[in-house]
Amino acid sequence: MTSSHGRGRLHLAAALDQPTVFDAGPYVELARLAERGGLDFVTLGDTFARPGPDALAVLSRVAPATSRVGLVPTVTTTHTEPFHVQAAVATLDWVSRGRAGWRIDVSATEGEARLFGRRHAAPAEELWREAGEVADVAARLWDSWEDDAEIRDVATGRFIDRDKLHHIDFEGAGFSVRGPSIVPRPPQGHPVRVVDATEGQARRTAARYADVVLVRAASAAQAAAVRDQLRAAAAESGRDPDTLRVLASLLVDLGDGEHAAEPGHGGGGPRQTAQGPLYRGGPVDLAELVAAWHTDGVVDGFHLTPVEPRRDLERLVNGTVALLQHRGLFRTFYPGSTLREHLGLARPANRYAVTGGASAS
Amino acid sequence: MTVRSRKEIHLAAHFPGVDNTTVRADPRSRSQIDLSSFEHLARTAERGLFDFFFLAEGLRPREHKDRIHDLDVVGRPESLTVLGALAGVTERLGLAATVNATFNEPYELARRFATLDHLSGGRAGWNVVTSSDAFTGENFRRGGFLDRAERYTRAAEFVEVARTLWDSWTPDGVSRPFAHRGRHFDIAGEFTVPRSPQGHPVVIQAGDSGEGREFAAATADVVFSGWGSGGCPPGRHGTRYGSLEAGRAFYADVKRRLAKYGREPGDLKIMPGVGVVLGDTAAEAQERATEIRRQQVSPQNAILALEQIWGVDLSAYDPDGPLPEIDPVADSVITQGRTRRGDTVVIAEKWRALSKEKGLSIRETVIEAGARQSFIGTPDAVAAELEEFVRRDAADGFILLPHLTPGGLDEFVDRVVPLLQERGVFRTEYRGSTLRSHLGLERPEDRGRSGRSTSGHPSNPDDRRGRGARCGERRRVVSGREEA
Ligand SMILES: Cc1cc2nc3c(=O)[nH]c(=O)nc-3n(C[C@H](O)[C@H](O)[C@H](O)COP(=O)(O)O)c2cc1C
C-alpha cells in the first residue's frame, strides 16, 4: 500500500489547553488568534483525572465569539451517557453553525471509575471498543432525524414528517439506545470525529470511525508508518482512505527565538519527551518542518500544542503560519464556513434516508 | 397607595418548549433550534432586567398511539451547551437549564454546572427534574429502573452530592478529596473544578406533588410551579380570584415546609409559569388571547389533547362535536414521554362539567380548559395584577411562557416592565452580577471543611451580598400574610 495519493491541502490545528484557567476570556482570546491564522480547528482536552473545566462547555462559550475556526473538545466515553454525549456535540455544531468536532477519549484509571462508582477500570482495549460503539451510536443518532424532517405543514397541522424520524435500536456490548435523538440533525450532518491513535488500542476505532486522526510521532518515518496502517485499516472496514485526515501531533516551544534552535535541529525534527514529541526552535524552522513532512506526503497536517499557550500560539500564527501562507502552502482565508469544508470532507449522506425516493430537493 | 414595604418581583423567561404553546402560523415565528432565536429571547430578557432565562428538557421525542408525535414543535438543542453559548452574548442574565437527575451522574453534571458558573461569572441555575419512566430510560445505560417512589430520594441525594462536590475546593483554590456513600451513590476522589463564583449554582425545582414540594423545601432555591397549583383549574375558567387563592394556598403550603429544614421563607422563591397576552384595551387583549388559543389548539390537537386525558383512541370523534360519553382509562400509556401533570380521571370530569355547563364542543373545551394564559389585559392592568399576586403572597415572581419564538417577550419588556418599575416593584438596574444576587439569595458558606457530605441547607450570616435591607421587610410580609 502506498503512503499517499499525492499531496492534499495542508491542515493545521492548535490546542487551547490552559489547565488552571476557568474563565472564558483566555480561551476566547486564543481561539480568535487561531482563527486569525486560518487554522482548521482548535482542540481543548478534557479528563476527569485532573483539574480543568468541561471542555465542550468552554468551546460552546467560544462559539459566538468566533465565526470560522473549528471547535473540537474532548468528550470521554467511558463514564458518560452516549445519548447525552451525542446531543451535546450536535448542539455545539448548532451553536457554532457547523464548526463542531469531538475528540473521543476513554477514562482508563480506577481513580476516574471511583468518581462515578458504576464500574471498575477496564483494559484500554475494551474501553476503545466501547468508544467505537459510542462513536457509532452518535452518528446513528445524528442521522435519526433526516435533514428535511421538520415540515411545519399548515394544512395538516403537522410539525414534522414522522417518517423522517427514526428509532435506531442500537444494541451494543454494554449499552443500548432506542432513539431517535432529541436534537435535529446538526448542520454538518456528522460533526467531525477526532481520535488520537498513537496507542495501538485506539487504532482500530480510529480507522473505522474517525475523520481526523492524531498521531504523536517524533519522526517522519514513524508518522508515515502509522498513517499507512490507518489508511489500510480504513479501507478494510469499507471506508475510502481519502476520507481520513492524519495529523502529526507535536508540542511546540517557540520560546527562544529563531536563532536558538536545538543544536543539530536544522529541520531534523522533534524529539521524544515524557510529555510527547516536542519541537523546540523558531517559527521559521517549524514552518520548514511542516512544509517538508506535508510535501513528502508523511501527514495531512499538524496538530500543535503550545507549551506556553499565549506566547507560542502567537508566534505560531504570526511566524510559522504567515510563512506557510506566503509560500502558498496554507490558506489565507476560509473559503468555507464549516469544519468539514475546512478539512475537505463531504457532508455525509443520511443512512436512514430513502435514496431515489420522491423526497423534495 | 401609600409608600410601604414592597416585595420585589422576580421575572424569568422560558424559551418556548416542545409542545403546542408555540404559535407557528404567526409570520414572525422563527426556528426553535438556531442560536439566533435563543439569543433574541435572552437579549430581550436581559434588556428587561430579568432574573434568568430558562430552558426545559425532554430526553425522548414523545410518542402517541405508538408513533412519534408529529403535531407539536419537537427537536431542540441540548440545554447546557446552549447556555454556554448564551453566556457569551449576555452579561448579567441568569442562565438556567432543566436537567434530569435520573439519567445523569452527579460527578459529571456537577462539573458541567460548575463550569457554566465559571464561564458565565456566576449565573448558572439548575432545574432538577426527575423521571421514573422506562420509555425515556430506553435511551440510557441506566435504563428505566427507577421506581416512581424513588425519584425524589435519588434527586435529593444527587443534589446533596453535587453540593459536596461544589464545596470540595477551598475558597482560595485548594482541592480537597471528597467521599460520599449513600443509597444511590458511592463515590470518592477529587473534583476537577474550583469553587465557582456562586459557590453553588441556583437549584430550581419543578413538580407539584407533595414529594416535589417537600424536596423543594429541603433543597431548592426556586420553585417553578405549574399555573393554578393547588388544585384550581387554570385559565379564565378558574377566574382570577380562583387563581389568586390557589396560588396563595400553594405558596403558604410550600413556605410552611421550610422551617423544619431550618430555612427562612425568603430562602425559597416561588415562581409560577404564566402566559401574558396584552392589548391596548381589555377587549382587544381578550380577542388576541382567544385567537392565540385557537391557533394553539388545531382540530387535530384538540383530539390529541382529549386522547391524552381519556387514554384511548378518539380519532373517530368530531372536534366540533360533543365530548365522548365513554369513561376515561386511568393510567393509560397512550402517550409516552410526556411528564405527568395530574390525575387524568379528575381532569376528564372537570372537562365534562365545563362542556356541559357552557355547551362547548371538544375543541372549544380544550381551548377553554387548557388555557395557559394567566394574565390578559392592558399593560397597566397586567402590571397591577402581577403586583397583586406577589403582594398578596401568591408568588414571588413569574416564569413567563411566551407563545412566539423568539419575539414573544418583546412587548412585555417594552410595555409592562417599565410599569412594574414605576410601581417600585421591579429593579431598574442589575445590582449584582450573579443569579443569586438577582434572586436575593445568600451565597452558600463553604461547608467542605470536613470533605464529606453534610445535610441541611447552608446559610452564611456573614455574607450579605445581594441581600439588601428589603429582605427583612420581605420576610415580614411573608410571615404576616400566611393566615390572612
Ligand atoms: C412547571 C413545570 C415544568 C416542568 N418542566 C419539566 C421539564 O422541562 N422537563 C422534565 O423532564 N420535566 C418537567 N417537569 C416535570 C417535573 O419535574 C416532574 O417530573 C413531574 O412533575 C412529576 O413529578 P411530581 O409528581 O412531583 O409532579 C415540569 C413540571 C412542572 C410543574
pLDDT at A262: 52
What atom of ligand 1 comes closest to residue B273's alpha carbon?
1
ipTM: 0.95
Best of B76, B127, B129 to mutate for ligand 1, by most ligand atoms within 8 A of CB? B129
Domain definitions of chain B by residue range:
10-282+374-439, 298-369
Residue B46 DSSP symbol = H
- Better-scored residue on pLDDT, A195 or B337: A195
Mean pLDDT for all residues in chain B: 86
pLDDT at B83: 98
Asked if the structure places residue A345 within a domain, the reply is yes
Question: Which of B72, B76, B192 has the CB atom closest to A50's CB atom?
Answer: B192
Q: How many domains does chain A have?
A: 1
pLDDT at A355: 64
pLDDT at B455: 39
Q: Is residue B229 within 8 Å of residue B208, measured between CB atoms?
A: yes
Mark yes or no for CB contact B119/A23 under 8 Å. Answer: yes
pLDDT at B445: 82
pLDDT tens readout for residues B339-382 = 655 678 888 889 999 999 999 999 999 998 876 668 999 999 99
Buried b (16+ CB within 10 A) or exposed e, A308-331: ebeebbbbbbebbbbbbbeeebbb
* Band (B229; pLDDT cuts 50, 70, 90): very low
Number of inter-chain CB pairs under 8 A, A vs B? 181
Is the pLDDT at B19 greater than 60, yes or no? Answer: yes
- Better-scored residue on pLDDT, A15 or A174: A15
- List Cα–Cα distances, B219 to A15, A151, B128, B272, in angstroms: 40, 42, 10, 18
Angle at A263 between CA A261 and CA A268, to 5 degrees: 80
pLDDT tens readout for residues B447-481 = 765 444 443 333 333 333 333 322 222 222 222 22
Q: Name the least confident of A176-185, A273-282, B240-249, B321-330.
A: B240-249
Closest CA to B377 of B408, B402, B412, B420: B412
Chain A residues in contact with B303 (beta carbon < 8 A): none
pLDDT at B331: 76
pLDDT at B450: 45
Q: Name the least confident of A169-183, A222-236, B464-478.
A: B464-478
DSSP bridge pairs for B169: B175
Q: Name the least confident of B56-70, B281-295, B446-460.
A: B446-460
Is the pLDDT at A246 greater than 60, yes or no? Answer: yes
Q: Name the least confident of A285-289, B209-213, B329-333, B433-437.
A: B329-333
Strand A192-196 and strand A101-105: the pairing is parallel
* B327/B305 Cα distance (integer angstroms): 15
Asked if the structure places residue A1 within a domain, the reply is no
Asked if the structure places residue A4 within a domain, the reply is no
pLDDT at B146: 76
Is A9 an interface residue toward B (CB < 8 Å)? no
pLDDT at A195: 98
B444 prior amide bond cis, ω within 30 = no
Domain coverage including residue A347: 11-360
B104 CB near ligand 1 (under 6 Å): no
Residue of B nearest to A92 (CA): B81
pLDDT at B5: 62
Q: Is residue B379 within 8 Å of residue B416, measured between CB atoms?
A: yes
pLDDT tens readout for residues B370-425 = 766 689 999 999 999 999 999 999 999 999 999 999 999 999 999 999 999 999 99
CATH number for the domain harbouring residue A69: 3.20.20.30
- State the smallest CA–CA distance between residue A52 and chain B in angstroms: 5
Mark yes or no for CB contact B193/A22 under 8 Å. Answer: yes
Is the pLDDT at B64 greater than 60, yes or no? Answer: yes
pLDDT at B227: 65
For the B10-282+374-439 domain, the top CATH level (class) is alpha beta
* A295/A298 Cα distance (integer angstroms): 8
Is the pLDDT at A67 greater than 70, yes or no? Answer: yes
* Band (A3; pLDDT cuts 50, 70, 90): very low
pLDDT at A257: 62
B57 CB near ligand 1 (under 6 Å): yes
pLDDT tens readout for residues A126-163 = 999 999 999 999 999 999 999 999 999 988 889 999 99
pLDDT at B240: 67
Task: Please state the φ and ψ torsions of residue A91, each to the nearest 5 degrees.
Answer: -70, -40
Is the pLDDT at A218 greater than 80, yes or no? Answer: yes
* Band (B131; pLDDT cuts 50, 70, 90): confident
Mark yes or no for CB contact B68/A53 under 8 Å. Answer: no
Closest CA to B319 of A157, A153, A162, A154: A157
Question: What average pLDDT does the segment A312-341 reach?
Answer: 97
For residue B131, how far is its CA from the centre of ligand 1 (angstroms)? 8
Asked if the structure places residue A70 within a domain, the reply is yes
Closest CA to A3 of A244, A212, A249, A196: A244
The pTM score is: 0.92
- State the smallest CA–CA distance between residue A153 and chain B in angstroms: 9
- Better-scored residue on pLDDT, A324 or A19: A324
